[in-house]
Structure formats: structure tokens, C-alpha cells
A and B are shown apart, each in its own frame.
With several copies, the nearest count.
Chain A
Amino acid sequence: MRVGAFEAFGLVVRRELCLSFRRPDQLLQPLVFFLIVTTLFPLGLSLQLSLLRDMAPGVLWVAALLSSLLSLDSLFKSDADDGTLEQLALCGQGLTVIVVAKTFAHWLVTGAALVLVSPVVGTALGIPGAAFATMLLSLGLGTLTLSWLGAIGAGLTVGLKRGNVLLSLIVLPLAMPLLIFGAGATDRAISGTSAVGALYFLAALCVFTCTLAPFAATVALRITLE
């Protein structure tokens, strides 16, 4: 009996989560990386605490961006290396379902997890509690968008050695507006002005990417699979 697209989606998500949870230490890595980068900065700034609060949104967002990005590299690569990507491509489901499921699962274990720990980091960086709602919402939208942009980049670089650096080269420029508006929203929330405009923009960006990126990523993957 043929398997429907929704069922296939669920199965691939389960597969990805299963692979992640098989190595709980690695599951925690993007998180820990996020924590480390956010602590590195204050160190690099030689403890000028007054500066710290002003730059908190920037540090938070850059750390989120880099830690999603680092793990994005393996989105398709490990499957391509051991030949399972070919098997997935031949499963009769259409590559888009696979791509959507894999990207969504990736977001669950990195982006969503990162959003969950961000209050801790935010507190450490001196972001006031009143700004947390905006921070969480903007990070949620931002990381989801980023996962999608990253899926395109990962699809394009999957066949290449040391593709991870090329991946950042491709994704980071695309992610710049995200960073500007995301950090901007948090910044405004901290200073108490309305962040609604920036949040709307982030939401629009997210919807836009989520509708178009799956197809772009599928095309990218199909190109590199040949």
C-alpha cells in the first residue's frame, strides 16, 4: 500500500529526531555553542560591562545565527556521504516532502531549542524581562527563516568537500536582513519602544521564505544529486 505525503513527512521527521537523540551530546551542541559564543563576547570586550547591555541584542542574534549555521552544514551532507540520500530521493515521495521534513526537524532540534534557552542567555546579558516576549518571538521567526535559507545553501553545497565554509558564505549574506530586523526588534523592546513593525517584517520574511524556499532547496538538491 502506497504511503501518503503526510505519513512520509512524519516518518522522515521521526527518522531525523531519532538520529539526533541517538547522540544526546550532539543534540546539545548547538545550544552549548550558543551559550559559549554569548559568553565569549563579554570576555573579548575585556569586561566593559557598560558596553555589554547595549550590544546584547546583537550578540544574541549573531550567536543564534552562527550556531544554527554550524549545524546546518550536516543537513543533507551526512545522508549524501553514506548514500542514504539517493535512497531517499528514490523513495517515490518527491524530494520536496523529504526536504521539508528534514528542515523542519533540523529547526526543532536547533532553532526551537535555542529559543527555549534564550531567556537564560538574555538574563545573563542583562536584557530586561519585559523584552523577553519580543525576543522569543523574533528569535523563533528568525531561526525558522534561517533554517530555510540554510536548507537552500546546504542543498547547493552538499556534494562539496569543506562545503561548510561555502555554506556560510552563501547563507550569511541572505540572512543579513534577518539579523538587522531581529536585533532591531529586541533592541526596541529593550528600550521600551514598539517593536511591532520589525516583528511584522520578520513574520512576512518568514512566510515568504517558508513558501518559496522548499522549492528552491529541492531544485538545489536535485542539481547536486546528479
Chain B
Amino acid sequence: MWTWFYKLASPPYVYAAAAALAPWFLGLAAITVGYGLVDGLVYAPPDYQQGDAFRIIYVHAPSAWLSLFAYTSMALAGAIALVWRIKMGHAVAAASAPIGASFTVLALVTGSLWGRPMWGTYWAWDPRLTSELILLFLYVGVMSLRSAFEDPSRGDRAAALLGIVGLVNVPIIHYSVTWWNSLHQGATVAKLGKPPMPGSMLWPLLSMLLGFMLFYGAVLCMRLRGEVLNRERQAKWVREAIKS
């Protein structure tokens, strides 16, 4: 069982698997995002309060969710690598961080664009907004800590530890709307019971979410390949792979 696990995490296997998965992820992402965009931006009815401005949700909410999801996967990959000394975990974490940071930026930008018509300001020091900004700082911290070390393996482990410690911020972001009374919208989609959103608005949103996740998977696979190649540049299999 364990040997199987370790074999699964061996660099050549990861490299090959990432190469095989990436096109699938990318293709599926294109389909789901395509459906979500068309249905969400064209067919879904305008909101009775916000008119067409609400359509930003189709980019904002998925990218905000993904910013949390990518952080959590990065921290978990780092934790696995730290505890079981599986080097590929660090590669996954390193590949994940910039993608997550980009989603965070996207969430911040779309959020503040949305905030302008909704709240009359691009930015407010609201708990949800602030904690999302902190998430961006954490991403930046993890990335710069990793690169600050001369020795990559130490940088990996240091970044993994910081990632784990920073995980406390994720529930704070998620529950900030309930813990503090906030400007920001409460949980709309994931609420138990009947979602307060009509299906015609909800389905494109869920499709966009799925699409963003697939897209994340695709980019992760592509970045992971580069990461693995760079890390294993001394190894025989890499030289052979490059030659052939």
C-alpha cells in the first residue's frame, strides 16, 4: 500500500500523469465555462434589484471560491510533503501558489468592480474583503519565503509550514460574513435547504464553478510539469526525456 503510494508520487510518474491529465481538464473546462458564460450572461434573467450588474457573480464567486480551494490544496500538499517527506508534494504546492494568488487577485478585482455599483465604493474595510486581502498577503508570503532560500529544499519546507499555519485564515474568510455583520453578501449558494436563487441563475453559476476548478486542475498540471522538470534537472530520466 505504502510502496504503491510512494510510487505514485515519484517524479517521472507525476510528470507523465500531469501531461496526460492536462488536456482533459482543459477540454472539460472549456465546455463548462462556455456553457456557464453563455447561459449566465445571455439567458439568465436579470436580477430584480441589480439588473445586469449581478452577472459579475459568474466570475466573482467562482474565482473567490477557487482562491480558498487553491490555498487549501496548497497547504495540504505541503503538509503531506512535510510529514511523509514526499518531494512531489512540494512541487504541487509550489505550482499551486501562483494560480491561487491569481484567483485571489481576480476575486478582489471583480469584487471591487461589483462593489462600485452596489456599495458606491470600490473598497471598504469590511471583514470579508480584508480577510481576502490577507489571503493575498499569505500567498505572497508563502511564495517569497520559498524563493528567499538559497537551498530549494529548505525553502520548500519553510513555505509548507507557513502554508499550514496560514490555513487558519480560510475559515475566517468563509465565516466572516456570519461572525461580523458585513456589507458583503452572506452564503447564498451553499445554504442548506432551498437555495434562495432561482435555478436559471444557479445552474450557470455551478457550471462556472466546476469549469474554474477544471481550469485550475489544467493549469496546475501544466505548471507542475515545469516544476518537476526544474527540480529533477539532475536526474537521469529528465535528461532522457529531453533528449528523446
Contact = CB atoms under 8 A, between A and B. Distances in A.
Does A associate with B in a complex? yes
Interface of A: 23, 25-26, 28-29, 32, 36, 39, 42-43, 45, 47, 49, 52, 123-124, 126, 152, 156-157, 159-160, 163, 166, 169-170, 172-174, 176-177, 180, 216, 219-220, 223-224, 226
Contacts of B124: 49
A224 B143 CA distance: 16
Interface of B: 82, 121-127, 130-131, 133-134, 137-138, 140-141, 143-145, 147-149, 151, 154, 157-158, 161-162, 164-166, 168-169, 172
Given A156-B162, A170-B145, 10 more contacts: A123-B122, A156-B145, A166-B141, A173-B138, A173-B141, A173-B166, A174-B166, A176-B131, A180-B127, A216-B164
B140 A32 contact: yes
What 5 A-B pairs have minimum CB-CB distances, sorted nearest first?
A25-B144, A42-B125, A173-B137, A173-B134, A223-B157
Contacts, number: 86
Contact of A32 (B122, B137, B162): B137
A216 to B, nearest CB: 6
A163 B161 CA distance: 17
A49 B134 contact: no
A152 B148 contact: no
Contacts of A39: 125, 130, 133
Given A39-B133, A216-B161, A216-B165, A52 B145 contact: no
Contacts of A156: 145, 158, 161-162
A226 B68 CA distance: 32
B158 A166 contact: no
Contacts of A49: 124-125
A216 B160 CA distance: 11
Nearest to B157: A223
17 contacts: A25-B143, A25-B147, A36-B137, A42-B125, A47-B127, A49-B124, A52-B125, A123-B123, A152-B165, A159-B154, A169-B141, A169-B144, A174-B168, A176-B134, A219-B161, A223-B161, A226-B151
Most chain A CB within a 10 A radius of its CB, from B138, B141, B172: B141
A223 B154 contact: yes
A176 B134 CA distance: 8
Given A47-B126, A123-B123, A173-B169, A26 B148 contact: yes
A157 B145 contact: yes
A89 B124 CA distance: 47
Nearest to B146: A25
B240 to A, nearest CB: 31
